[in-house]
């Protein structure tokens, strides 16, 4: 602690003469304060400090905190600092914010006691520019964090001189690391999928060598510690010195697993769609050819052909509701037979048909209904019962039974409708059928094994 004799006027004048120009040139404010009852007063101040209040060094001497416009809150804070410094007898450093001309300013203050219980000396540096820069940097970091959060991007950096790595929490999570764990390029290399490792490292090496100005974009797989495979898109920039030496590499990482899987599903979708369209076109072509051969004229052909196309379309409607994976048997029958209203009874347990079998059964039911309208129950006042059971797991037994149609006899020649039923039953359904002619109608049983559901026609 400096004692009282250090404040005699000659010593002060000499010190001010020696240090004044230096302090003023550097913008440093310096002065001496004296603690009073409920205030403090300036004993000494250099030009920079006095100028802060619009005064000269001589004019500020004796001025109190209240004289200089300090508010009650700011004055209490200042007195508390002075008392603590005088009590501890230690030099202290702190940042001091205050309002000047309506604008917030910050000062870095160093304060030391020079007279036991009464006076302190201090120097103060205006750090407003630095604080504003720090606040702007903090806002920029917050904006970056929000942008990274919104885009699900991870941030990473490699020091190519020290080989140190820095990853944010999201990037750490991509590689199965917890927040705070230390990453490394060695770990990154180990987690790369073996099939992608060589080309990925080659892409980074090319960027470090200056290819494309050091910019890079690489998509690769990585394997987590639990064996989970995910896709990442890494993009960024290599930073070079003026002599061309690569110093560091920084960039972003994005988990694109869902995107890649969607692309794969899209490829499968297009392949499946192409396959199904070809099959449907082949079916339509076959129906058209066979219908034309069995039709006496164009009007008859159009009537039969439109009916069969309509049956396909109705089955398509049911399949579309399930992304073309399968169709409920009850829904399929109800859709095909809706025009016959209460004259049809449909009953059976829940059964889901894969798309190919649904298309085949839809055509079969259409042909059966057409025959019933021409020759059977629907021609008069008869009714039709369509029931099904599963006599064993994975096997369906469907029974079409007409009543009120009168006695029936086997046809002398098999028409195209029955040919189509037989071909679809043994081919697409991989099953068998049996026809029993009754005294009051006909009973047709179709037995077939359930196929596997097809993949969904959706991305």
Residue 284's CATH number: 3.30.565.10
The reported pLDDT for the residue numbered 15 is 45
The reported pLDDT for the residue numbered 445 is 96
The reported pLDDT for the residue numbered 144 is 64
What domain range includes position 187?
A: 152-255
Residue 168 falls inside a structural domain: yes
Residue 341 falls inside a structural domain: yes
Does 307 lie in the same domain as 385? yes
Does 98 lie in the same domain as 10? yes
The reported pLDDT for the residue numbered 69 is 84
d(CA 111, CA 124): 9
Spell out the residues 6+ positions from residue 179 whose beta carbon is closer than 8 angstroms to its own.
169, 172
The reported pLDDT for the residue numbered 241 is 93
d(CA 453, CA 356): 9
Helix (H) or strand (E) holding 105: strand 103-115
Query: Residue 209 sits in a domain of what CATH number?
Result: 3.30.450.20
Does 62 lie in the same domain as 111? yes
User: Are the CB atoms for 35 and 119 separated by under 8 Å?
Assistant: yes
User: Are the CB atoms for 98 and 117 separated by under 8 Å?
Assistant: no
Does 315 lie in the same domain as 286? yes
Residue 311: half-sphere exposure toward Cβ, Cα within 13 Å:
23
Does 399 lie in the same domain as 280? yes
Does 210 lie in the same domain as 67? no
- Of 131, 164, 183, the residue at which a domain comes to its end is 131
Residue 141 falls inside a structural domain: no
Does 240 lie in the same domain as 269? no
Q: How many domains does one find in the chain?
A: 3
Q: Which two tokens stand for residue 138?
A: 């903090």
The reported pLDDT for the residue numbered 457 is 44
Residue 180 falls inside a structural domain: yes
Q: Which residues of 80-104 are buried (b: 16+ CB within 10 A; e: fewer)?
A: ebbeebbeeeeeeeeebeeeeeeee
d(CA 344, CA 418): 21
Residue 136 falls inside a structural domain: no
The reported pLDDT for the residue numbered 102 is 76
The reported pLDDT for the residue numbered 294 is 66
Per-residue pLDDT of the chain (459 residues; tens, 9 = 90+): 444 434 444 444 444 454 456 556 557 888 899 988 889 999 989 988 888 888 999 999 999 989 988 888 888 888 888 888 888 888 888 888 877 777 888 889 899 888 656 888 888 888 888 888 787 767 776 676 676 666 678 889 999 999 899 998 888 988 888 888 888 888 888 999 999 999 999 999 999 999 999 999 999 999 988 888 999 999 989 999 999 999 999 999 988 988 888 888 777 767 766 665 666 666 567 667 767 776 777 887 787 777 777 766 776 677 766 666 788 999 999 988 888 888 999 999 999 999 889 888 988 998 898 888 888 888 888 999 999 999 999 999 999 999 987 777 776 666 777 888 898 899 889 999 999 988 889 999 999 999 865 544 444
The reported pLDDT for the residue numbered 52 is 84
The reported pLDDT for the residue numbered 264 is 84
The reported pLDDT for the residue numbered 317 is 72
CA dihedral for 47, 50, 56, 61, sign (positive or negative): negative
Residue 459 falls inside a structural domain: no
Does 122 lie in the same domain as 207? no
Q: What pTM was estimated for this model as a whole? A: 0.46
The reported pLDDT for the residue numbered 101 is 72
Q: Which residues of 169-201 are buried (b: 16+ CB within 10 A; e: fewer)?
A: ebbbebbbbeeeeebebebbeebbeeebbeebb
- Of 229, 255, 281, the residue at which a domain comes to its end is 255
Does 206 lie in the same domain as 269? no
Does 383 lie in the same domain as 347? yes
Q: Which two tokens stand for residue 269?
A: 């979708």
Residue 35 falls inside a structural domain: yes
Does 102 lie in the same domain as 71? yes
Residue 138 falls inside a structural domain: no
- Of 255, 274, 297, the residue at which a domain comes to its end is 255
Does 69 lie in the same domain as 10? yes
């Amino acid at each position: 602690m400096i004692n009282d004799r250090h404040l005699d006027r000659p010593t002060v004048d000499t010190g001010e003469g020696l240090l004044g120009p230096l302090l003023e040139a550097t913008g440093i404010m310096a002065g001496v304060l004296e603690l009073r009852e409920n205030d403090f007063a300036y004993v000494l101040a250099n030009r920079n400090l006095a100028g802060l209040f619009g005064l000269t060094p001589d004019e500020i001497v004796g001025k109190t905190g209240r004289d200089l416009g300090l508010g009650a809150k700011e004055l209490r804070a200042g007195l508390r600092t002075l008392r603590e410094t005088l009590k501890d007898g230690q030099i202290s450093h702190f940042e001091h914010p205050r309002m000047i001309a309506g604008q917030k300013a910050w000062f870095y203050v160093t304060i030391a006691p020079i007279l036991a219980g009464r006076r302190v000396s201090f120097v103060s540096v205006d750090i407003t520019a630095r604080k504003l820069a720090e606040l702007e940097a903090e806002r920029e970091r917050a904006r970056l964090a929000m942008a990274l959060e919104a885009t699900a991007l991870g941030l990473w950096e490699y020091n190519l001189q020290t080989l140190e790595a820095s990853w944010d929490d999201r990037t750490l999570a991509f590689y199965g690391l917890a927040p705070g764990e230390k990453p490394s390029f060695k770990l990154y290399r180990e987690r790369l999928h073996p099939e992608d490792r060589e080309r990925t490292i080659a892409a980074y090496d090319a960027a470090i060598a200056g290819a494309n100005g050091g910019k890079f974009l690489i998509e690769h797989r990585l394997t987590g510690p639990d064996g989970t495979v995910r896709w990442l898109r890494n993009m960024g920039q290599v930073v070079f010195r003026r002599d061309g030496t690569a110093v560091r590499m920084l960039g972003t990482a994005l988990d694109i697993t869902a995107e890649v899987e969607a692309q794969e599903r899209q490829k499968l979708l297009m392949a499946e769609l192409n396959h199904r369209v070809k099959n449907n076109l082949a079916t339509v072509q076959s129906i058209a050819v066979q219908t034309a051969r069995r039709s006496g004229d164009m009007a008859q052909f159009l009537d039969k052909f439109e009916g069969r196309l309509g049956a396909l379309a109705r089955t398509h409607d049911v399949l579309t509701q399930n992304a073309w994976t399968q169709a409920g048997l009850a829904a399929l029958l109800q859709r095909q037979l809706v025009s016959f209203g209460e004259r049809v009874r449909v009953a059976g347990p829940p059964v889901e048909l894969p798309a190919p079998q649904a298309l085949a059964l839809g055509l079969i039911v259409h042909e059966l209904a057409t025959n019933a309208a021409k020759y059977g129950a629907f021609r008069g006042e008869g009714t039709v019962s369509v029931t099904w059971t599963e006599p064993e797991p994975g096997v369906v037994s469907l029974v079409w039974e007409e009543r009120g149609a009168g006695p029936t006899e086997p046809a002398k020649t098999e028409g195209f409708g029955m040919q189509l039923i037989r071909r679809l039953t043994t081919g697409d359904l991989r099953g068998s059928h049996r026809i029993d002619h009754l005294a009051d109608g006909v009973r047709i049983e179709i037995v077939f094994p359930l196929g596997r559901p097809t993949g969904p026609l959706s991305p």
